């Protein structure tokens, strides 16, 4: 089985190394956030100039947000995704999961055991390179930031959220590719021809060995990049441009929540769980449930009679 596995690339943690001995440099993960935000910004700004998208009388011939406002919104969303992503990881994984499954490897940070290590050394609360970020927390942070910004600018929330939903998979794609490059969030052992052994010199130096061992595994990060990133993007763009579902404000947002929840739940069967939440039911599966609930709310809101997208 080992001979059928693909070699893991030797790319290192840093896209732009500066002084790596002291942890200084631009990491692939940071670069993925930047790339996702920049491309999403560009895609939304381009949408505002596509007049054929806004011919419905409900839009008055113009997009629900201007290109300049999108630039400001990106700043708010950046703060939301960073703060929400880290706080979400602390709550969902550093506390809830580590209380439920204290033996899981991710509950060890430095010489401490989570969640107690947060109290003994509060610095662990902000060391994003130890533990990481939670997508669900980042999503909640972005949702709050978008709601606050729309409220401040007196914009209609649902049409704006639909625009964001159509480009959100871009960020998901880059994030999952960065997970693969970092050799983290790997899949379960397998003997498929495209299995990967997540071990190289960089990982061995950083962890004094390979946490994933020399076992061929599913490249679940690539599965998520293809499903949550590319496929979901294509589906939502098709819904926008072919069926013009954005003319029912909130519908595309609901489809995004539904699609991401389904794809994430599916990939959890191939992804090595961070820890067993309830039996075989992983934390990733559990966090898909509130996404489906949110999808139901948005779909109901968008499909009810005389929905105008105001919030």
Residue 308 in domain: no
Q: Going by C-beta distance under 8 Å and a sequence separation of 6 or more, which residues neighbour residue 196?
A: 5, 6, 7, 8, 186, 216, 217, 218, 219
Residue 97 in domain: yes
Average pLDDT, the chain: 86
Q: Tell whether the model's pLDDT for residue 95 goes beyond 90.
A: no
- Taking the C-alpha atoms of residue 251 and residue 276, their distance in angstroms, rounded to an integer, is 33
Contact assessment for residue 268 and residue 282, using Cβ atoms and an 8 Å cutoff = yes
Range of the domain at 96: 2-303
Q: How confident is the model at residue 111 (pLDDT cuts 50, 70, 90)?
A: low
Residue 147 in domain: yes
* Domain count within the chain: 1
Residue 309 in domain: no
Res 2: pLDDT? 43
- Taking the C-alpha atoms of residue 38 and residue 140, their distance in angstroms, rounded to an integer, is 20
Residue 181 in domain: yes
What pTM was estimated for this model as a whole?
0.87
Q: Tell whether the model's pLDDT for residue 311 goes beyond 60.
A: no
Residue 88 in domain: yes
Residue 264 in domain: yes
- Taking the C-alpha atoms of residue 27 and residue 181, their distance in angstroms, rounded to an integer, is 10
Residue 310 in domain: no
Q: How confident is the model at residue 23 (pLDDT cuts 50, 70, 90)?
A: low
Res 106: pLDDT? 65
Res 131: pLDDT? 62
Question: What are the tens digits of pLDDT across the range 41-93?
Answer: 999 999 999 999 999 988 989 999 999 999 999 999 999 998 998 888 788 77
Q: Which two tokens stand for residue 277?
A: 């939440």
Q: In this predicted structure, which of 61-75, 114-128, 275-289 has the lowest mean pLDDT?
A: 114-128
């Amino acid at each position: 089985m080992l001979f059928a596995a693909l070699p893991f690339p030797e790319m290192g943690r840093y896209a732009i190394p500066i002084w790596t001995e002291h942890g200084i440099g631009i990491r692939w993960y940071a670069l993925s956030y930047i790339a996702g935000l920049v491309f999403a910004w560009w895609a939304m700004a381009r949408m505002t100039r596509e007049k054929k998208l806004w011919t419905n009388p409900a839009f008055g011939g113009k997009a629900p947000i201007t290109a300049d406002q999108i630039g400001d919104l990106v700043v708010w969303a950046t703060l939301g995704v960073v703060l929400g992503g880290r706080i979400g990881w602390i709550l969902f994984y550093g506390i809830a999961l580590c209380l439920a499954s204290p033996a899981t490897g991710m509950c060890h940070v430095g010489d401490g055991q989570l969640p107690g290590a947060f109290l003994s050394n509060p610095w662990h609360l902000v060391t994003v390179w130890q533990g990481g970020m939670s997508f669900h927390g980042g999503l909640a942070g972005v949702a709050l930031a978008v709601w606050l910004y729309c409220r401040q600018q007196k914009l209609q929330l649902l049409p704006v959220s639909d625009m964001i939903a159509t480009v959100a998979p871009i960020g998901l794609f880059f994030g999952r590719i960065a997970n693969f490059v970092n050799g983290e969030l790997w899949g379960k052992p397998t003997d498929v021809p495209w299995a990967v052994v997540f071990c190289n010199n960089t990982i061995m130096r950083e962890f004094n060995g390979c946490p994933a061992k020399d076992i061929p595994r599913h490249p679940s990060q690539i599965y998520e990049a293809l499903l949550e990133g590319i496929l979901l993007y294509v589906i939502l763009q098709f819904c926008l441009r072919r069926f013009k579902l954005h003319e029912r404000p909130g519908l595309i947002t609901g489809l995004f929540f539904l699609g991401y929840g389904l794809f994430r739940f599916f990939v959890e069967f191939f992804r090595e769980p961070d820890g067993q939440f309830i039996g075989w039911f992983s934390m990733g599966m559990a966090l898909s449930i509130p996404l489906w609930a949110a999808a139901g709310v948005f779909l109901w809101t968008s499909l009810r009679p005389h929905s105008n997208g105001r919030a």
